[in-house]
Structure 1
Amino acid sequence: MRIDSCFFCGRPAWPSKGITFMRNDGKSFRFCRSKCHKNFKMKRNPRKLKWTKAHRRNAGKEMVVDSTLQFAARRNVPVRYNRELVAKTVKAIERISEVRARRERVFYKKRMAGKRAREVASARKLVANNEHLLPRLRGSEKRRLAELAAEQGVSIEELEAEGLANMRSSKKTLAFGGEKQRLRVRTDGGVETITERAEVSLLGEDDDDNDDDEMDTD
């Protein structure tokens, strides 16, 4: 069973699937789906469409020079049937597929090396250019951080980084201007002032809504 490649996108066109277009000069064009057939009739260049194999090869996202790719070349050479030759060919096809998959993984790792560092660098550049848009701490919060830093003997930057890490772990942040003060009477007759801060989820959803969603899913 021969599996042809799509003339437009390069995907495999399985037998009894897709569309075959016969031109007047006798040349046949095999397409894996109607999308490729329509783009071919509109005379679009597959190298300019990002979802085709031709574009990926030109962009360096696919292996182009490799010994395993030579076995996929079409050869119109008649060969006399031989059972042993067919068995060896089937085993060779499986082995070639394994080698090609391993080489593709190595190719992908090399191509994606350093992507995380580039993303972090671009994110830091974006924050540095738009630092004036970031929310600022109130005076009371700054004074509280300064007192905590003096007590613990650390810098304010370290405290801010620690608070940001805790905020990300809990997915909550303080809402500015959302403090409430109430009085609590102790058993010994004294009065205690309690300051409550309203918390807002970073995802833009309240905890009650999350609890309701969990109850619905159960």
Structure 2
Amino acid sequence: MKLEICSFSGTKIVPGRGMRFVRSDGKSFIFFSKKCYSLFDNKKNPRKIAWTQFYRRIHKKNEDAFIKKKKTRRVQKYQRGIEGASIEQIKARRQQKPEVRQQLREEAIKELKARKQQKEEQRKKLSQQKKKVSKDTKVAQKISNREKKKMQKSQNRGKVSQQSGKRY
């Protein structure tokens, strides 16, 4: 059973009761009684008529009928693993003594420093090798460029350019 609500007073209307009014713009209104319809037709404001639900709601009459008790949601705290570490690993780390933690940190720092040093040494070696190779390749490129130019000149001798008609 679908209950409808009066467009003027806000009271519930059971099926088979009330009257429906459709305005020329197509909007439909349903009224509980002839009294509601006539007040609506006379353009009375339902907020100013004491017996309507709108008035009662605004002036806080019979609040318990309108307001339901709100349920408060309680957030449940839940611990879970982080990427790369399970819950057991996290709990084990929390239970470690501060001295052990400090020792582990120092070891990790030493390891990082050693890795950085190795990387720097490798970079230095590579840069020295590149310098040697780059000098050799530059000399070789200069020689090959000279030879290419000589070959082009020798091939172009005797040819007539199509644009100007002159010999090279």
Tell me the TM-score range normalised by the shorter chain: 0.3 to 0.5
Say which one has the larger Rg. Answer: 2
TM normalised by structure 2 equals 0.38
- Greater relative contact order structure (CA < 8 Å, 6+ sep): 2
**Structure with higher strand content:** 1
TM normalised by structure 1 equals 0.29
